[in-house]
Amino acid sequence: MTSNLLKYIFLFQAFICASLWCTNLMAQKQDFGVKAGVITSTVKGQGAGSIKPGVQIGAYKTFGSNERLYIQLEGLLTQKGSWNWNSSNKSNINLYYLDVPIMFNIVLSERFNANIGFQPSLFIGGNHQYTVDGESQSQGLRNDVPAMDYSTLFGLEYEYSENFVFGIRYNHSFVPLQSYENDFADNNTLPVSMVAQFYAKMPLNKVISYIKKLD
C-alpha cells in the first residue's frame, strides 16, 4: 500500500513537471536538449573498492531568464548499484531508476556553472547477485527495495561551446535501500547509494541538425 502510494506521488510530481516543461518549451530564452553520460556508484557498507560502472541517458529543460540563476529539470534513466569484483565471494547489486533531478544552476563565469538540487527517483527494478557455497545466486529486488529514493546533488558544468556542455555531479541518497538488518551492508551500516556522474548535454536542435547531416 505504501509502495503504491509513493509511486502515485512520484507520477503526480512527474505530471506537474511535464506540464511546466511543455508550457515553457517554446519560450525563446529557454533550453531543451538531451543528456548522456557514465556514472560510478556504490552502496555504503559494501566495502572499499565496491564501485559499479553504469550509464545514464535522458533529457533536460531549463527555466528562467535570470542571467545568474536558472532552474533545470531533468528526466534520466540511470544504472546504479555496487560491485565487489570478487568472483569467489560475489555480492553485486544492480539497480535501475527513473531519476527526476530538479537543479538550481548558478552562473559562475562565461564558461562555468555550479549546480545544486534535489532528486526524487522511481525504482524500476534490479537484482542482487551473490555466491553461496561456491554457487552463483540471483535475487530480484522489486519487493526488497523502497519504490522511491530521494537524493541531494551538487556539481559543476563547463560550456565547451554552444553545442556541448560537460559536467560532473555527485549524488548522495538519504533513503536506505534496506534497514540495519540487511543483505547489502556490513557492520550494521545503513546501505544508501552514492553516485558520481560524468556527462555531456546538447541542445535538441543541434542533435537534430547532426542527424540530418548523416542522411
139: domain CATH number? 2.40.160.20
Question: In the beta sheet, which residues pair with residue 200?
Answer: 36, 166
Say yes or no to pLDDT of 97 above 90: yes
Please name the residue ranges forming H helices in the chain. Answer: 2-23, 204-214
Torsion angle of the four alpha carbons 112, 116, 122, 123, in this order, in degrees rounded to the nearest 10: 80
More confident residue, 19 or 151: 151
Q: Which amino acid is at 5?
A: L
Number of domains comprising the chain:
1
Burial (0-12, 13-18, 19+ Cβ within 10 Å), 177:
buried
What are the phi and psi torsion angles at 61 (to 5°)?
-145, 130
Whether the per-residue pLDDT at 194 is higher than 90: the answer is: no
Instruction: For 126, list phi and psi in degrees, rounded to 5.
Output: 165, 180
Q: Across residues 55-68, what is the average pLDDT? A: 85
Name the CA dihedral angle for 206, 102, 169, 125, rounded to a multiple of 10 degrees. Answer: -100
In angstroms, the CA 136 to CA 129 distance is 7
Kindly report the average pLDDT of the chain as a whole number: 79
Average pLDDT (120-124) is 93
6-10, 42-46, 115-119, 190-194: range with lowest mean pLDDT: 6-10
Cell of 139: 535475487
| Domain limits for position 82 | 2-214
pLDDT, greater one: 52 or 117: 117
Query: Which pTM was predicted?
Result: 0.78
Instruction: Compute the chain's Rg from CA coordinates.
Output: 19
Percent of the chain with pLDDT over 90: 38
Residue whose C-alpha cell is 533545470: 72
Q: What is the predicted pLDDT for the residue at 201?
A: 94
pLDDT of residue 39: 93
Among the residue ranges 25-34, 65-74, 114-123, 165-174, the one predicted with the least confidence is 25-34
